[in-house]
Structure formats: C-alpha cells, structure tokens
Structure 1
C-alpha cells in the first residue's frame, strides 16, 4: 500500500523533530525518526495491524507515550493524518 502524508501529518512530524532537537538530544530525535520509519514500514505491509481509534475509520498507533500517529486506510492508500502529542486536549484533534 502507498503511504500518503497529509500536510498536517508532515507539519506535526517536523514539529516533533524540531522539539526533540531543541529540548533533548540529536540521539533522541534520531530514535524518534527511526521509530516512525519502522512503524510506517509495518503499516504499509499490515495496514490493519493497529486498532481503530475513537474516530470513525481512523487507526491509532502510539509511537512513544507522548506521540501517537493517526492514519486512515483509503482503498490502496494509507493517509497519514496526524502525529499527535498525547498530552494535548483531544478535543483539539482535527483531521
């Protein structure tokens, strides 16, 4: 299946990396990048591997306890919707 990054997902992803580089270390940021790459490989092969979230037809995978990825299967495509900070108010989460 083909992974498609939404603009929100791309912005969230880069924001998280920038935050890790500013507040933590390059090593921690690199670990996050590698975790995301590993999860995306799994999603591309096994798109239904992760459970449905509370949002209709949207799946959720916890990358780290602080960050979750929300995605949606759309035919032969997997839409990456958001890399969400789990400490934010979930009512602010929009797709």
Structure 2
C-alpha cells in the first residue's frame, strides 16, 4: 500500500512536533516521529489495520496516549487525514 498525507495531517503533525520541541525536548519529538513511522510501516505491510470509527467514517490508530492518527483507504492508497489530540472534544461534537 502507498501512504499519502493530506495537507491537514502534515500541518497537525508539524504542530505536534513543534509543541514537543517547545515544551519538552528533541528526544521526545524524535520519539513521537518514530511512533508515527512505526505505525505507517505496519500499515504499509498490512500488519496493522486500525479501528474503524463509524461516526467518522475512517480508521484510527493510537500514536501516543494524547494523539490518534486518522486515515482512509482508497484503492491501494492509505490517506493519513489528521492527527487528533485525544483531550479535545470529538470531531462530531
């Protein structure tokens, strides 16, 4: 499977990284990126599928306790749509 990031996903990923750099350190930010890379690698190989959220109409995978990655699958491409802060209200509220 191919992986593509939406513009929104790139913005949110980068905002999370900047937050980690500002509030924590480069090691924590690097660890966050490693977690994302690990999940994407498993998705590409078909080892990890994620949980389908019927309310959102997309899949989700926990990256770290605070952040969930959402994605949709179209043909042979996985589109990463966003990185959601789990402490915010759900998208549909």
Q: TM-score, normalised by structure 1?
A: 0.89
Instruction: Report deviation, 1:49.
Output: 1.8
Cα-Cα RMSD: 1.6
- Structure 1 moving runs of 4+ over 4 Å: none
Structure 1 segment 58-73 matched on structure 2, within 5 A: 58-73=58-73
Q: How far apart are 1:91 and its partner, in Å?
A: 3.2
Indicate the residue corresponding to 1:55 in structure 2.
Answer: 56
Superposition pairs for residues 1-95 of structure 1, below 5 Å?
Answer: 1-46=1-46, 49-53=49-53, 54-56=55-57, 58-91=58-91
Range moving further from structure 2, 20-29 or 38-47: 38-47
* 2: CA distance, partners of 1:52 / 1:65: 18
5+ residue gaps in structure 1? none
Distance 1:20 1:64 in 2: 12
Of the structure 1 ranges 47-56 and 76-85, higher mean CA displacement relative to structure 2 is found in 47-56
